[in-house]
Each structure stands twice: as C-alpha cells, then as structure tokens.
Chains A and B, each alone.
Chain A
Amino acid sequence: MKKVAIVGIGHGKFGVRSDASLRELIFEAVKACLDDAGLSLKEVDSMVTGVAGDEFSFGIQPSAQVHDYIGFHPRANFRVEGACATGSVALRTGWMTIASGLADLVLVAGVEKMTEVPTSMATEIMGRAGDATWEYPFGTTFPGYYAMIANAHMAEHGTTEEQLARVAVKNHYYGSLNPYAQMQKEITLDKAMTSFTVAYPLKLYDCSLITDGAAAILLASEERAKAISKKPVWIAGLGCGTDSMRLGDRKSLTSLQATREAAKTAYKMAGVGPSDIDVATVHDCFTIAEVIAYEDLGFCEKGEGGKLIEAKETYVGGRIPVNVDGGLKSKGHPLGATGVSMAIEISKQLREEAGPRQVKDAEIGLTHNVGGSGQLSLIHIFRRE
C-alpha cells in the first residue's frame, strides 16, 4: 500500500464567527495550510471538502462554495459527510485518493458555520443525529442521547458527575492555552458542577459548543511528502466502525461498539497497541464521551474511565495525554472541521510545535472522531519518522 503523509496544516480561529461566511472561513484555513506546506494551490491535484449540515450551509453541494471561493476549479472536489465525524471522513477519503494512485497531492478541508441559525434550530438539527422516526418523537436531543449513555455508565460502573466535570476542567485548561480555541478560559470544578442541567445528568459544562470554524490539511504521497516537508506526519493506521441507529438497539449502552471496531482495525494496521500511543485527541462532544473513549480505545479498563481522569492521567505528563488542545469541549466543535482539527493537533504534537501544550517526545498520536450518537466512528493513527 502507498504511504500517505500530512505535509501542511492550517487552522482557522474557532468561535462565534459572525464576521465571516462559510467560504470565508475555509479560505483562512486553506491559506494557512498552503503557507505551512510552502506550496501554491496550483500544485494541488485534488480536493475533498467536509461539511456536515445542509441546514448550516444554506444549500446542497457546499463543496462548490468552497472550491469556487478559493479558486480550485476545474479540478476534482466533492463534499463528504458523516455528521460530527465528517472531518475524519474527509481525511479518510483524501488518504484513499492518494493510496489508490488517483492523485499525489490532496487538500482536505473541513468547515461548518453553525451560529447563523438560531440555537433552538441547531439543537433540533443535531437532535436528528439519532433516529428521526423512532427517537425524535420523544423529544430527544444530542445531549439527551449522551445523557442516557451517562446514566447507564453511572449505574453500571459507579462513574460520578464529579468525574465527568473533571474532564471539562481539564479541557478548559488546555483550551485556555490554545489560541484557536473558542473558550480560552479555565473553569473550576465548582463552576462545572453547579452549571444548569441540559439533559440530566449532563450540565452546561459537560457539553461541547456550537461553533463556526474551518481547518485544512494537505496530504501527499511518499515521494512528494519527502520532497515537500522536513517533518511529514505519516498516516499509519485507519479504522472505521459503525453501530445501530438507535441507542436501544446497541449491545452495550456504556461503550461505543463503532469505536471498538475502528480501534481494532486502526491498531492492527499501524502495528501498535493502546500503550504505544503518546498523545490522543478523542471525541469529547460530551464529557461522558471522553470517559467512554478512554475505555473503548484501551487507555484503561472498561469502567475505569472516571478514575483515569480523577488521577489526572490524561493531562500532559500523565500516562496518556488526551485532548490537550482543549477538545470539542473548549476548542469548539464545528462539525465538518473537527476531525481535520484533531489531525492538525496531532501533527503539531508530532512536529513538536504544540508550545505550552507539547507532550514530550511524542512519536505516535491518535485521533478519534464519532458521528451522531455513535453510529459511526473513525480512528486515525499517525507517526513521525
């Protein structure tokens, strides 16, 4: 199989970006990405655009808004979608484009413009991340699905609301050190614990944000990567798993089978195991999702996720630093951009460019990105040379 590396990264500012449209956001990220790679757009063969919601982009084929505005036409570009995992679907598609021999240099761009619609509408759109026919009639929302997962995890493993709040405290701390994060401010455990309930037992600070933002990476074939970059970040393993539409049909309510499946595949392909991972970005759309990710990715035993955060093992300096860019929780979660942003953070870590958030001697990194309430999960494992 052909080897593929990340040779350029570009991250736009995440937040309530009422100053910019979808196409203007992607321009920022693409420009930064090309500058980082030291290339012009003319040299890029092909492109993949990740955008999750038609409702957010005010039209079908949002990829056209993107290639038109950055001037990429007439070359190949299309939109891919996998709800909250859209960015990772774009990365996987970009990898396939090179691994198949179709192209040597592929731009992978992810973007979402979520704050232009009212919050109640955004809540409804996200609520359809479950089964719109059989679950939504019971007023389910995106936090509602993860709240049901949290209650099941608490009942089965004794996980506490305080342990969940500790995930928020950690991710806000690292968000405060990330200039691209939406919420660059630390929070106290007390503040997290006393915030209002969104979906019992999840409180405001257990939930990720509604965010505008874009991120872009440039992928290259082995030969091109070595010529372009002194520090290529190699994609060593890819995994993708799926699960049932409805929570009630899952084998387990305290684990995401899609993640377990994706992890198995990705670890095998990369020839590594959980203990080899130096740094990870996991899908913390809600604090309980990060705790379950620790367990499903094998960073701790099943049911021990709450204890892992309590022992601060997922901080820099701990056994396995997780979401030291602030995570979806504090960096923000622009659906289409999130998976690409995760790959950018791991690239920075492996290139030793993460500044105050740097994990020492990080050689192998992992991204974990979940779609909807767990119907889809994508994992990528990266290595430096």
Chain B
Amino acid sequence: MEFKNFSLFINQTKVGRFADELAGGKIMSTLCKKCGKQYYPPQADCPSCMGSDMEWKEIKAEGKLLTFTKIHVPPEHFAVRQPLMPFSSVQFEPCPVGIIEVEKGLPVMGWIPKMDVKKIKVGMRMKASPLTLPDGKITIVLEAI
C-alpha cells in the first residue's frame, strides 16, 4: 500500500505503515517508548523528548466532535472528475468534514458522509473508521454514535 493512497501528495515518509494499517481496518497512532507521548497523526520522532524510538498503537477512535464544515467549493483534486486524479471518483461530495477528539486529546479528521450539515453539532459523540474507496484509495469517515 502506497502512503499516497491516503495522502494524495506525499509518498515518502517514515510512517508509511499508517496507510497499510488503515487499509487493514485500523487507525494507528505512534507512542514514544522513552517518554510515553502519543501522536496522531503518527510521527516517527518525538519533539517532547527528542527521541525517535516509537511503537505503533491502535487508537480507540471515539470521541466528541471538536468542529466541522461542509466545503461547497472544493479544491482541484476533489472538483474535477478525471480518472488520473486521486479521489476523483468519491461519490459523497460535497460532503461535510469534521475533527473528533479521541483518547487523551488526539484529533482525528474525517469525512461525515451520512449527515446533513445542519444537523451536525459541535460536541456530539462520533466514531472514526477507515474506508476503502472503489478506486483503491483509503480515507477515514466519521459517524454519530
């Protein structure tokens, strides 16, 4: 699994395993073995102790919605239906997006395909799950629980 299947632009990173795990159904964070600080999005390095000895840890992806929006004027990648453009076959656009806060303050961003934007409220409880799109790209969706 190429990391680009998630990130669209960037393929070369030390945390490429994130995309493999996401394709396998898991949203992963990294945990610093030295000082215990947890990172989502995952980081290969820990600015807290300047260490780089990290381990992967699945996150319990449930929490309250910090904020959201619905973008009606999308950027080029999402606006143009061209076969070579990643995500151009996404069916749920325009689609609300939001950020939930999980575990001890980790922010998880995702699409909210199943809700009317006017019914979305800051503070509502949601869960995040990986989603593989028909074209093989992978992303994250949020739904109310």
- Determine the distance from Cα of A74 to Cα of B7 in the docked complex, in whole angstroms: 43
* A253 and B66 in contact, given A136-B8, A152-B122 (Cβ under 8 angstroms): yes
- In angstroms, how far is the closest chain B Cβ from the Cβ of A248? 3
Q: Are B122 and A143 in contact (CB under 8 A)?
A: no
Q: Are A138 and B68 in contact (CB under 8 A)?
A: no
Which A residues are in CB contact (< 8 Å) with B97?
A: 138-140, 144
> How many B residues face the partner with a CB closer than 8 A?
41
Q: Are B109 and A248 in contact (CB under 8 A)?
A: yes
Q: Are A151 and B107 in contact (CB under 8 A)?
A: no
Q: List 10 A-B contacts (CB under 8 A).
A: A124-B77, A133-B7, A136-B9, A139-B71, A144-B71, A148-B69, A155-B67, A200-B96, A200-B117, A246-B107
Given contacts A132-B9, A136-B77, 15 further A-B contacts (CB under 8 A): A120-B75, A120-B76, A132-B10, A133-B9, A136-B9, A137-B87, A138-B139, A140-B71, A141-B73, A141-B75, A197-B72, A198-B72, A201-B69, A246-B109, A248-B107
The reply on A328 being an interface residue by CB < 8 A is: no
- In angstroms, how far is the closest chain A Cβ from the Cβ of B9? 6
The reply on A229 being an interface residue by CB < 8 A is: no
For B70, B73, B123, the residue with the greatest tally of chain A CB atoms inside 10 Å of its CB is B73
Q: List which B7-42 residues lie within 8 A (CB) of chain A.
A: 7-10, 13, 41
Q: Are A148 and B68 in contact (CB under 8 A)?
A: yes
CB < 8 Å neighbour of A134 from B78, B87, B98, B109: B109
Which B residues are in CB contact (< 8 Å) with A248?
A: 66, 99, 101, 107-109
- In angstroms, how far is the closest chain B Cβ from the Cβ of A105? 41
- Determine the distance from Cα of A151 to Cα of B96 in the docked complex, in whole angstroms: 12
- Determine the distance from Cα of A253 to Cα of B9 in the docked complex, in whole angstroms: 26
The reply on A149 being an interface residue by CB < 8 A is: yes
The reply on A121 being an interface residue by CB < 8 A is: yes
Q: List which A199-235 residues lie within 8 A (CB) of chain B.
A: 199-202
Q: List which A233-257 residues lie within 8 A (CB) of chain B.
A: 246-249, 253
CB < 8 Å neighbour of A120 from B7, B8, B80, B122: B80
The reply on B6 being an interface residue by CB < 8 A is: yes
- Nearest residue (CB) in A for B9 is A132
The reply on A324 being an interface residue by CB < 8 A is: no
- Determine the distance from Cα of A127 to Cα of B79 in the docked complex, in whole angstroms: 13
- Nearest residue (CB) in B for A139 is B78
State the A residues within 8 Å of B (CB): 120-121, 123-124, 127, 132-141, 143-144, 147-152, 155-156, 196-202, 246-249, 253
* A138 and B79 in contact, given A133-B10, A144-B97 (Cβ under 8 angstroms): no
The reply on B136 being an interface residue by CB < 8 A is: no
- In angstroms, how far is the closest chain A Cβ from the Cβ of B22? 11
Q: Are A144 and B69 in contact (CB under 8 A)?
A: yes
CB < 8 Å neighbour of B71 from A120, A143, A196: A143
Which A residues are in CB contact (< 8 Å) with B8?
A: 136-137
- Determine the distance from Cα of A200 to Cα of B87 in the docked complex, in whole angstroms: 22
Which B residues are in CB contact (< 8 Å) with A155?
A: 67, 121-123
Chain A proximity mask over B48-79: 1 for CB below 8 Å, otherwise 0: 00000000000000000011111111111111
- Nearest residue (CB) in A for B86 is A137
- In angstroms, how far is the closest chain A Cβ from the Cβ of B119? 12
- In angstroms, how far is the closest chain A Cβ from the Cβ of B4? 10
- Determine the distance from Cα of A38 to Cα of B54 in the docked complex, in whole angstroms: 61
Which A residues are in CB contact (< 8 Å) with B66?
A: 152, 248, 253
